[in-house]
């Protein structure tokens, strides 16, 4: 069955690697994730966001994830699979996911006051742990993007707060803000493309060995952006986090790295190419198949070259 994140994180922290946390909304994305993990023998966290639940239905996604356990075994490598709620925004939603079979949840109270964040997160932890479900909390605010408006200011995680937060809430892992952000437009043109690994090091000193999570960790591969634009797309100034910086983070206390946007780019590039070059195609399998293949390669690349979770299943 599905597993929670506890043992996976303990091994990842001591082993100096990170577990991939890939979002999925449909069958092809899930197949690509499981094929990539089975072929590289990597554990995996399947993430379901609010957008995914609205798009595909939470019940269907949950059954797909449960089926993925069997599917991985059929592929010849029964990798550990976590089903995780991404960016849970209320106790009720977390409770519902916990009661219906998710093995891990995030309660994102990062936009609340410190005390409110502690209170809400503590409440979710108390409920989740009764069901052996692990909980991710968040401190600090990632810069967000609204449509095509570029990232607003970050509020970096305050290292002085992490020990108190982790102690008071009992969370199993902590998402931090060190300059990553969601989406495909992470830095403004001309801006220094650096994340604050110095803040990460400071946080690690305060809570040694505690599992740290990075959201907004897509790298926005420029070959994919160019491929999209070469086949009719219009992505201007799309940039992400350098893979070298993420590799360095994965070697330290970061044990979960969230990647969604890069997968979106890989899928879109492949679909655009097929439809552009073969306008006579109209069988969805003829463009979703290549998209799935491109996704699988991207996920394998991340596992082997960025996260280091290959062979850790
Ligand atoms: O945290 C953001 C993830 O990329 C999920 O985004 O809510 O559009 O599915 P979404
Ligand atoms: P990206 O948009 O950088 O892929 O981040 C995804 C994420 O953090 C999901 O929670
Ligand atoms: Zn996120």
Residue having the nearest C-alpha atom to atom 5 of ligand 1: 49
Neighbours of ion ligand 3 (CB under 5 A): 215
For ligand 3, the distance from its centroid to the CA atom of residue 50, given in whole angstroms, is: 11
Q: How far is CA 157 from CA 178, 180, 231, in A?
A: 7, 12, 40
Under 8 Å CB-to-CB from 266, ≥6 apart: which residues?
A: 221, 224, 291, 294, 295, 297, 298
For ligand 3, the distance from its centroid to the CA atom of residue 273, given in whole angstroms, is: 28
User: Which atom of ligand 2 lies at the shortest distance from residue 240's CA?
Assistant: 3
Residue having the nearest C-alpha atom to atom 1 of ligand 2: 216
Question: Which residues are identified as catalytic?
Answer: 86
Q: Does the beta carbon of 154 lie inside 6 Å of ligand 1?
A: no
Ligand nearest to the CA of 218: 2
Q: Does the beta carbon of 264 lie inside 6 Å of ligand 1?
A: no
Q: Does the beta carbon of 182 lie inside 6 Å of ligand 2?
A: yes
User: Which atom of ligand 1 lies at the shortest distance from residue 86's CA?
Assistant: 1
Q: Does the beta carbon of 121 lie inside 6 Å of ligand 2?
A: no
**What pLDDT, on the 0 to 100 scale, is given for residue 146?**
44
Q: pLDDT digit of tens for each residue in the chain (313 aa)? A: 999 999 999 999 999 999 999 999 999 999 999 999 999 999 999 999 999 999 999 999 999 999 999 999 999 999 999 999 999 999 999 999 999 999 999 999 999 999 999 999 999 999 999 999 999 999 999 987 544 445 467 899 999 999 999 999 999 999 999 999 999 999 988 888 899 999 999 999 999 999 999 999 999 999 999 999 999 999 999 999 999 999 999 999 999 999 999 999 999 999 999 999 999 999 999 999 999 999 999 999 999 999 999 999 9
Q: CA–CA separation, 125 vs 169, rounded Å?
A: 7
User: Which atom of ligand 1 lies at the shortest distance from residue 55's CA?
Assistant: 9
**What pLDDT, on the 0 to 100 scale, is given for residue 56?**
98
Per the annotation, binding residues for Zn(2+) are 87, 108, 138, 182, 215
Pocket probe for ligand 2: among 215, 224, 257, the residue whose CB has the most ligand atoms within 8 Å is 215
Ligand nearest to the CA of 246: 2
Q: What is the CA radius of gyration of the chain?
A: 19
Beta bridge partners of 81: 44
**What pLDDT, on the 0 to 100 scale, is given for residue 153?**
74
User: Which atom of ligand 1 lies at the shortest distance from residue 260's CA?
Assistant: 4
**What pLDDT, on the 0 to 100 scale, is given for residue 149?**
46
Q: Does the beta carbon of 220 lie inside 6 Å of ligand 2?
A: no
Nearest to 224 by CA among 264, 180, 279: 264
Under 8 Å CB-to-CB from 241, ≥6 apart: which residues?
A: 180, 186, 193, 195, 216, 217, 218, 219
**What pLDDT, on the 0 to 100 scale, is given for residue 148?**
46
Residue having the nearest C-alpha atom to atom 7 of ligand 1: 51
SS3 letters across 71-127: HHHHCCCCCCEEEEEEEECCHHHHHHHHHHCCCEEEECCCCCCHHHHHHHHHHHHHH
Residue 127, token pair as written in the block: 């409920």
Does the domain at residues 6-307 carry the CATH identifier 3.30.420.40? Answer: no
For ligand 2, the distance from its centroid to the CA atom of residue 235, given in whole angstroms, is: 18
Q: CA–CA separation, 299 vs 33, rounded Å?
A: 7
């Amino acid at each position: 069955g599905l597993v929670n994140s506890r043992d996976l994180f303990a091994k990842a922290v001591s082993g100096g690697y990170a577990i991939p946390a890939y979002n999925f909304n449909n069958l092809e994305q899930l197949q690509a994730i499981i094929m990539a993990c089975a072929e590289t023998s990597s554990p995996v966290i399947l993430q379901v966001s609010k957008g995914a639940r609205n798009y595909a239905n939470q019940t269907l996604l949950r059954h797909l994830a449960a089926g993925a356990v069997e599917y991985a075994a059929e592929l010849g490598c029964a990798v550990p699979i976590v089903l995780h709620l991404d960016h849970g925004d209320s106790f009720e939603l977390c409770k519902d996911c916990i009661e219906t079979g998710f093995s891990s949840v995030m309660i994102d109270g990062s936009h609340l006051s410190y005390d409110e964040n502690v209170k809400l997160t503590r409440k979710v932890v108390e409920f989740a742990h009764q069901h052996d479900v692990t909980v991710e909390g968040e401190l600090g605010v990632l810069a967000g993007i609204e449509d095509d408006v570029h990232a607003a200011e970050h509020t970096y995680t305050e290292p002085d707060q992490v020990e108190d937060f982790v102690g008071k809430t009992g969370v199993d892992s902590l998402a931090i803000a060190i300059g990553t952000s969601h989406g495909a437009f992470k830095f403004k043109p001309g801006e220094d493309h650096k994340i604050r690994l110095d803040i990460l090091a400071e946080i690690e000193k305060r809570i040694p060995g505690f599992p740290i999570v990075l959201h907004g960790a897509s790298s926005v591969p420029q070959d994919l952006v160019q491929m999209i634009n070469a086949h009719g797309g219009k992505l201007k100034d799309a940039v992400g986090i350098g893979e070298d910086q993420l590799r360095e983070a994965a070697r330290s206390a970061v044990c979960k790295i969230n990647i969604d946007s890069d997968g979106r780019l890989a899928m879109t590039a492949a679909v655009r190419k097929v439809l552009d070059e073969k306008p006579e195609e109209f069988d969805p399998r003829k463009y979703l198949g290549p998209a799935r293949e491109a996704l699988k390669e991207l996920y394998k690349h991340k596992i082997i070259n960025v996260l280091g979770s290959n062979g850790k299943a």
